[in-house]
Amino acid sequence: MKFSPLILTLFLIGSLNAQWFSKSKPVVLNLMPVPQHIELKSGAFRVTDDFSLGVTGRSHDRIYGGADRFLQRLSGRTVLFFAQGFLNEKTTPTEGKLIIRVQRPGEVKLGEDESYELTISSKGIVLEAHTDLGALHGLETLLQLLSVDGDGYYFPAIQINDHPQYPWRGLLIDVCRHWQPMAVIKRNLDGMAAVKLNVLHFHLSEDQGFRVESKVFPELTEKGSDGNYFTQTQIREIIQYADDRGIRVVPEFDMPGHTTALLTARPDLASGPGPYEIERKFGVFDPTIDPTRESTYVFMEKFWGEMAALFPDEYMHIGGDENNGKQWDANPRIQAFMDSMDLADNHALQRYFNTRLLEILTRNGKKMMGWDEIFQPDLPKNIVIQSWRGRKALIDAARQGYQGILSNGYYIDLCYPTDNHYLNYPIAPDADLTPDERARILGGEATMWAELVTPETIDSRIWPRTAAIAERLWSAPEVNDVDDMYRRLELVSFQLEELGLTHEKNHPMLLRRLRNHQDITALQTLVDVVEPVKGYTRHRFAKYTSFSPLTHVVDAARPDAAVARKFRKLVDAYLANPVEGITQTTIIQHLVRWESNHAKLKTTIAGSPILKEVESLSADLSRAATVGRDALAYLELGEAPDDVWIASSGVILENAKNPRAAMELMVISGIERLREFAISIRP
Amino acid sequence: MKFSPLILTLFLIGSLNAQWFSKSKPVVLNLMPVPQHIELKSGAFRVTDDFSLGVTGRSHDRIYGGADRFLQRLSGRTVLFFAQGFLNEKTTPTEGKLIIRVQRPGEVKLGEDESYELTISSKGIVLEAHTDLGALHGLETLLQLLSVDGDGYYFPAIQINDHPQYPWRGLLIDVCRHWQPMAVIKRNLDGMAAVKLNVLHFHLSEDQGFRVESKVFPELTEKGSDGNYFTQTQIREIIQYADDRGIRVVPEFDMPGHTTALLTARPDLASGPGPYEIERKFGVFDPTIDPTRESTYVFMEKFWGEMAALFPDEYMHIGGDENNGKQWDANPRIQAFMDSMDLADNHALQRYFNTRLLEILTRNGKKMMGWDEIFQPDLPKNIVIQSWRGRKALIDAARQGYQGILSNGYYIDLCYPTDNHYLNYPIAPDADLTPDERARILGGEATMWAELVTPETIDSRIWPRTAAIAERLWSAPEVNDVDDMYRRLELVSFQLEELGLTHEKNHPMLLRRLRNHQDITALQTLVDVVEPVKGYTRHRFAKYTSFSPLTHVVDAARPDAAVARKFRKLVDAYLANPVEGITQTTIIQHLVRWESNHAKLKTTIAGSPILKEVESLSADLSRAATVGRDALAYLELGEAPDDVWIASSGVILENAKNPRAAMELMVISGIERLREFAISIRP
């Protein structure tokens, strides 16, 4: 086996606690996404207050803003007073300790060159890229390389050659089901740039709200938004902010279903009689645009024309998902139209609608994008299918010559743990596809659907898990060590905080509000080992509307509870080698804390009845911890558990597995394994 | 002494841990600012999921937005699913558990009626007000009344009649020395509304930046802002946001000094030869507008005319402070002009300039406002003087018939503890003023000058201390119990978090970055007992520019360290009654933790050399804690300290008082008192 730099990288990064030994000291790289090629050299570039940067070559203006933000973040982390500040085209020199060399101005569009080459030696740093977009990615890598030792900050000497695995690396943000204002969008664009995502998929219309000002049809937001929408000026501001960071903005106006808000303003476009009101509940609803009347297309022509001018990206997303067809079935006029046009079923009618939209988009110089349902074999080959249903649909489309991106498996709103998303590949490692077919699978998008998030909590559903998805979309498929991903994710998570993201800091804030007090210790101990229920299960616990409070304990709970995950790992390690030592001691410390926590939390609950919803979870955690302690005691004594303990502890753990208040205890499986092990050594 | 409701209020609130005993249980009110009249009744209104509200009478639209936000916050705190949501003029009923009754639409202008009357019984709640502005204040009071017991949430039965002590209650935000984007302004407007402040004084031009788009003179921001400015659309958005919350926006364009950024764009208006560059340092600088050329007034006419149209408030602030006169002295043409116009000195020339500005403002229907320096006896009586120099200037002006507001003593950027500001009265309780003179002292403004704050840290300099200033400006002067203020401030501080303010949650975030790790325990223990140096002292520790990092430990340190303040209180209590007990035990617990903390922090510093700056502070805290422990041991043994201990402990404490890294240890005075007490009992 030849150790090419790539293989060296993957081999090392792929192992737990990967350390690279440079001449003087071990180097642990904390890069996410992992670059394609890394070669570690000996030595380091020390960052001192004489640090400076220069830009050469021929670049788009955005490199200067990027360099300015880089310098601020580097200064913020190192607390060094650099002489440079407020970089722009005029103030940026061509010389410096860091030289950024760009060959040509980049365009923020699908398929643009995003590669870069980063060379760090003790003398200086050179970042080379074909376009400024690649250079921006290189600056993010450089910031992630910042290391520290007793002497201060440094960048390790290294050679990195990097480019993305997939050209379409997106995050969908739904600003409809719960409104998300400008500040949320901006800080998440910064987060996206930090992990090299390049598409903001902006989900702008839904049953619950129409969120963009139309100057042609002002009624859309006047009647369909509760006053919560982006003006066109604000949309331009977002597009500029994204462009400055090398990120495309692809707008989605979901049609013909998911249109209750639009039809509230324009019932004349509906397939049913109306009147309509903005939907407050969540699910799939009946209101659907009438695709059979020419007046619909008069509207569409003007509306999409206006939006095509507002959004510069070449792709526009027409949605197209989850049309339940009820209004079509119930409308005799629509049925008659279908007969007259020889449209066999609702799918055929939706195809007709899509074809009309496609004509409009094409006339406006745009390419069409939509969810699985829009796929039909007679569409032009430049469309993009977004698969929420699964990878198979994507592969089928690719085989027929169509481009697609994967979202199935990246539904971050459903609170699955990070590794689920991380090991979900747009192209499975064993996929049987030709190179041409592979090239049609453009990438993927994490989807932040907003049924159950507010501006307070949305960041905690997006981050840090989306950083792991970003790695899946940027890095080679061989980068797949889950433990090392989690190790790096923990660091990336608090580095993302410097961008204003609130996923870490809003967590204790939410607990303080629930606790009605600054001291949240006991509550925190419980919340550290629970996770929200996965999938759509939470809706079984309460009937949520778009104005229900999302300030429950479950809203503070994290989708990927680190304390619980680490506990389970400790149990694995202990069971592999069940001896006295640090692992056993740490397990016991956890169990002791959980065992005694319920008494403390009960006092808390007395002053915050809102917390009653977690009382039985807390009691079960305490009881389960006792089971774990007992099991360890049996093991230590080499004594067999008796039947009463076996029976009662079994009941306790079974009971503890029940989700309550839309949360589940995530340490029970670990405790269960301790119990089973204790039982297994029965003579 | 007759116990009117007012006196009852003040008497009770004025005592530490004020508790009001209703029929069933003690009631502690946590209102800030304290209302003018409170009468507590027996019983309570329980908040359950059938809560609803209605609006009656004749109100401005803004009441519906206010009611909507109220409902969201109430739902957020109680986690109750109310049937009502998205309130607006059409969806809001006239009936409900809470009835808001408004007599007439309010105008967001100086002197508008802001009073309200709130009546809570077990049956329901009635909020009555002359204007919706008063009703908005009443809703904030109601939210602060929300109480909790084992059965859930409730409002205590109560009758409150309230109105402000002063009509002008402001917060100045300087967006020039460090740029503060939209999100900062909006969340702080929400914070202001929560504590009944009603003026955002927007400091928009400075040596370091010109921050508002001028369509007439686009060069002002093109050359004077580094790209960091508000567009006119954004300014209108801010004004609307403020108006929705009953807050006026008074713009300040500081002239003729503090104009380097303006003169960078328009050197033709300067008194010196130029060219100019945006100032990066802080202080008082030479560049000054030339008041002698008619072309200056051609500019002023257009500029102030444009801004007068943009900002609807009747007051505009011309600054006028800190003109050092150097450019005027050095310019022979200006000297010749002064001779020809019989202007005796620079003050006279500035008076001439102000008079010309006054004419322009008056023609635009505006009243003039400025800092102390603009005061001159021939100005019209409707101007407002803002005093940064002191209360005396304000009183002098009031005696001459001029209106004024106080900012001296409210400089929150200088990191003084809250009680300093709290006991600073616009009209001193013993002031010898006639009723007419008193009426001219309109109120005050906290000033958030921005030399040393970024969007990350600005909230922590404004909040929670500004809530205490808001109380000074709203409540009766007799409300002045410092201990009770601190008790309430602690609660208000985390209630303010629900508005998105970051003063609490960014604190651990900043420590995580410094520590380069999630575990910040040892660093937190140190930071809990330090404060930033007061006044302008910090500038002695480093030469700050507008792009220097503000990510030091001192930037995370709090101006009013609660742990330290409480420790000093504990020492007071112990020395008043030096016996064994909970007070002594708590003191010892503190000392033990501090004593052992340095060893832990040293490990931390080894991995974060950035923290070396606090190493000696940490060592001194540890040594000082040992001194405190020794002193308590001597006291307990009834043994006299020996000479060596007396000498060495004196050296330790003296040394520990030295500020380092722009911070000072705030527990040394407490430990010193323990030491002195131990020495005093020497036989």
Model confidence pLDDT, tens digit, residues A105-135: 999 999 999 999 999 999 999 999 999 999 9
pLDDT at B683: 58
pLDDT at B376: 85
Closest residue of chain B to A602, computed from CA coordinates: B150
Closest residue of chain A to B81, computed from CA coordinates: A548
User: Would you give the distance in Å from CA B468 to the centre of its chain?
Assistant: 8
Lowest mean pLDDT among A7-11, A602-606, B287-291, B468-472: A7-11
Q: Do the Cβ atoms of B226 and A543 come within 8 Å?
A: no
Chain B residues within 8 A of A608 when measuring between CB atoms: 148
Q: Do the Cβ atoms of A506 and B505 come within 8 Å?
A: yes
| B residues 591-610 lying closer than 8 A (beta carbon) to A | 606-610
Return the higher-pLDDT residue of A213 and A638.
A213
Closest residue of chain B to A85, computed from CA coordinates: B547
| A residues 11-70 lying closer than 8 A (beta carbon) to B | none
Q: Which residues contact B125 (CB under 8 A, 6 or more apart)?
A: B45, B97, B98, B99, B118, B119, B142, B155
pLDDT at B24: 42
Cα B65 from Cα A292, distance rounded (Å): 40
Complete domains list, chain A, with CATH: 2-162 (3.30.379.10), 211-234+256-374 (3.20.20.80), 506-680 (no CATH)
Cα A49 from Cα B309, distance rounded (Å): 46
> Tokens 């079935």 identify what position?
A329
Tell me the catalytic residues of A: 322
pLDDT at A4: 35
Residues recorded for chain B: 683
Report chain B's mean pLDDT, rounded to a whole number: 94
Please tell me the distance in Å from B335's CA to the nearest CA on chain A. 37
Closest residue of chain B to A69, computed from CA coordinates: B547
pLDDT band (50, 70, 90) for residue B2:
very low
pLDDT at B269: 98
Report chain A's mean pLDDT, rounded to a whole number: 94
Please tell me the distance in Å from A346's CA to the nearest CA on chain B. 35
Q: Do the Cβ atoms of B504 and A509 come within 8 Å?
A: yes
Cα B230 from Cα A73, distance rounded (Å): 23
Q: Which residues contact B236 (CB under 8 A, 6 or more apart)?
A: B310
Closest CB from B84, B86, B150 relative to A606: B150
| A residues 525-584 lying closer than 8 A (beta carbon) to B | 542-543, 545-549, 551-552
> A492-519: per-residue pLDDT in tens?
999 999 999 999 999 999 999 999 888 8
HEC secondary structure over A585-611 = HHHHHHHHHHHHHHHHHHHHHHHCHHH
Q: Do the Cβ atoms of B505 and A500 come within 8 Å?
A: no
pLDDT at A517: 82
Closest residue of chain A to B455, computed from CA coordinates: A500
Cα B84 from Cα A436, distance rounded (Å): 55
Closest residue of chain A to B457, computed from CA coordinates: A500
pTM, two decimals, is 0.95
Whether residue A90 has pLDDT greater than 90: yes
Q: Tell whether B380 lies on the interface with A, counting CB pairs under 8 A.
A: no
Whether residue A23 has pLDDT greater than 70: no
pLDDT band (50, 70, 90) for residue B13:
very low
* Residues B115, B141 contacting (CB under 8 angstroms): no
Task: For the beta carbon of residue A347, count every other beta carbon within 10 angstroms.
Answer: 13
Whether residue B154 has pLDDT greater than 60: yes
> B526-556: per-residue pLDDT in tens?
999 999 999 999 999 999 999 999 999 999 9
pLDDT at A26: 53
Closest residue of chain B to A88, computed from CA coordinates: B226
Closest residue of chain B to A512, computed from CA coordinates: B494
Chain B residues within 8 A of A148 when measuring between CB atoms: 516, 607-610
> A140-169: per-residue pLDDT in tens?
999 999 999 888 999 999 999 999 999 999
Chain A residues within 8 A of B497 when measuring between CB atoms: 509, 512-513
What is the pLDDT averaged over residues A660-673? 98
Whether residue A8 has pLDDT greater than 60: no
Q: Which of B366, B273, B358, B274 is nearest to B320 (CA)?
A: B358
Whether residue B419 has pLDDT greater than 90: yes
Chain B residues within 8 A of A88 when measuring between CB atoms: 226-227
DSSP state of B660: B
Could you tell me where the beta strands, DSSP code E, fall in B430-542?
441-448, 530-532
What is the pLDDT averaged over residues B248-255? 98
Chain A residues within 8 A of B148 when measuring between CB atoms: 516, 607-610
Q: Do the Cβ atoms of A76 and B551 come within 8 Å?
A: yes
Chain A residues within 8 A of B513 when measuring between CB atoms: 76-77, 494, 497-498
Tell me the catalytic residues of B: 322
Cα B638 from Cα B643, distance rounded (Å): 16
Closest CB from B151, B233, B546 relative to A233: B233
Q: Which of B339, B334, B352 is nearest to B273 (CA)?
A: B334
Q: Tell whether B88 lies on the interface with A, counting CB pairs under 8 A.
A: yes
Q: Which stretches of A182-265 are DSSP H helices?
A: 182-194, 219-224, 232-244, 260-265
Half-sphere exposure (CA, 13 Å, Cβ side) for B591? Answer: 25
Closest CB from A81, A182, A280 relative to B182: A182
Closest CB from B231, B494, B609 relative to A150: B609
DSSP state of B59: -
Cα B83 from Cα A548, distance rounded (Å): 9
ipTM here: 0.94
Tokens for B226, please give them: 């580094």
pLDDT at A683: 58
What is the pLDDT averaged over residues B592-612? 93
Whether residue B464 has pLDDT greater than 80: yes
Q: Tell whether A119 lies on the interface with B, counting CB pairs under 8 A.
A: no
Ramachandran region of residue A283, left (φ > 0), alpha (ψ -120 to 50) or beta? left
pLDDT at A13: 40
Closest CB from B84, B148, B552 relative to A609: B148
What is the pLDDT averaged over residues B171-178? 98
pLDDT band (50, 70, 90) for residue B18:
very low
Cα A546 from Cα A659, distance rounded (Å): 24
User: Which element (helix H / strand E) includes B620?
Assistant: helix B615-637
Chain B residues within 8 A of A227 when measuring between CB atoms: 88
pLDDT at A516: 85
> B199-226: per-residue pLDDT in tens?
999 999 999 999 999 999 999 999 999 9
Count of CB pairs separated by less than 8 Å, A with B: 143
pLDDT at A634: 95
| A residues 460-479 lying closer than 8 A (beta carbon) to B | none
pLDDT at B39: 97
> A188-240: per-residue pLDDT in tens?
999 999 999 999 999 999 999 999 999 999 999 999 999 999 999 999 999 99
What is the pLDDT averaged over residues A524-542? 97
> B552-569: per-residue pLDDT in tens?
999 999 999 999 999 999
In percent, how much of chain B has pLDDT > 90? 91
What is the pLDDT averaged over residues B69-98? 96
| B residues 248-307 lying closer than 8 A (beta carbon) to A | 278, 280
Closest CB from B549, B607, B610 relative to A81: B549
Closest CB from A227, A505, A609 relative to B509: A505
Q: Do the Cβ atoms of A86 and B512 come within 8 Å?
A: no
pLDDT at B517: 82
In percent, how much of chain A has pLDDT > 90? 91
Cα B156 from Cα B120, distance rounded (Å): 7
Please tell me the distance in Å from B151's CA to the nearest CA on chain A. 7
Whether residue A9 has pLDDT greater than 80: no
